[in-house]
Structure 1
Amino acid sequence: MTLEVLAIAGAVLGLLAFILALAAQLRFRRMRRDYEVLQGEDDQSTFVASVARHVDEVDKLRVDIAQQREVIAQLQTDLHDAIRHVAVVRYDAFGDMGGRYSFSLALLDDDGDGLVLTAIHARSDTRTYFKGVRSGASDEPLSPEELRVIALAQGKEE
């Protein structure tokens, strides 16, 4: 009986070894196929090289984005001082003249600094005045039309 038990045990072990060898062979084939995908074929670029290229491109894009953010921040700073608020009020400076040929023009930045240009049209001539504006006010006296055009430019009046 010992010989029969040994024979059966040997057969079972042999079958188990065959199954393990078959499983190892399948795993090896799968690994080899995956390795070939990573390494690429003859003239094609490898997967690793392709990923490395994409990582480099992403790094360059990150640098570009950082530079663009700096440019945008500088533009926002510069834009704060730019003339962005403009308004015009046309009116008749004299009761006997029609056509609203007189006007006041406000050119202001975000802080309300800038100037007011006023042109007063009369029958024989037109006079033009510039008045400086700081924080929405002027050191010189302003006419009602000039006050209104400043308020319009600042969005305080419609």
Structure 2
Amino acid sequence: MIQEIFSSAYTYIITVVVMFLIFLILYIKQSMKLNKLMKKYDKFMKGKNAENLDGAIRESFKQIEKINVEHQKTMIKVEESVHRINSVFQKLGIVKYNAFKEMGGNLSFALCMLDSENTGFILNTMHGREGSYTYIKEIIKGEAYATLGEEEKEALEKAMNS
């Protein structure tokens, strides 16, 4: 019976010692993590107190606000640039032809220049022995309100398909 008492007491002592060692290891591990965190905090707070830390945070917010204002200005400029680009002539169609059969060579041409909405003009220059004649016809959204010659129609199609 005494032996049973010593055996169960011995088991309790071993259990308590094992638990003590586990808790000691966990305590050491947590202490190391806390020390590492304190070093990071000290490094962050080095040369700062609560007042100038507050000032630094306020200054950061001011800088962020300035950046946001500049970003908005930049976005407006980008939108204006995109609008301007859309109104620039982007599509081109040219057809060379012989306007007057008595002259050799394709010295006449029809030049069509359109923006992104197919609005622009057709410039037709006819070269002849007596001189050159130049005509311009307005194109609005792919439609001409003046009668187009075959070469002008071909130049318009080339420009719209380019």
Normalization by structure 2: what TM-score? Answer: 0.63
* TM superposition shift of 1:41: 5.6
Structure 2 match to 1:87: 93
How many matched pairs? Answer: 133
Distance 1:29 1:127, change over 3 A: closer
Q: Distance in 2 between matches of 1:150 and 1:101?
A: 19
Distance 1:148 1:31, change over 3 A: closer
| 2:129 matches 1:123 | yes
* TM superposition shift of 1:84: 1.8
Q: Distance in 2 between matches of 1:28 and 1:141?
A: 87
| 2:103 matches 1:97 | yes
Q: Distance in 2 between matches of 1:155 and 1:79?
A: 19
What amino acid sits opposite 2:146 in the alignment?
Answer: E
1:122-148 deviations in Å (ceiling 9; x for gaps): 112111111111222222111010011
More helix by percentage: 2
Aligned-residue CA RMSD in angstroms?
3.6
| 2:115 matches 1:113 | no
Q: Distance in 2 between matches of 1:142 and 1:26?
A: 87
Q: What 5-or-longer segments of structure 1 have no aligned partner?
A: 1-18
Q: Distance in 1 between matches of 2:111 and 2:136?
A: 10
Question: Which piece of structure 1 moves more, 112-121 or 70-79?
Answer: 70-79
Secondary structure, counterpart of 1:112 in structure 2: coil
Q: Distance in 2 between matches of 1:41 and 1:62?
A: 30
Pick the aligned partner of 1:150 from 151, 156, 161: 156
Q: What 5-or-longer segments of structure 2 have no aligned partner?
A: 1-23
Q: Distance in 1 between matches of 2:121 and 2:33?
A: 81
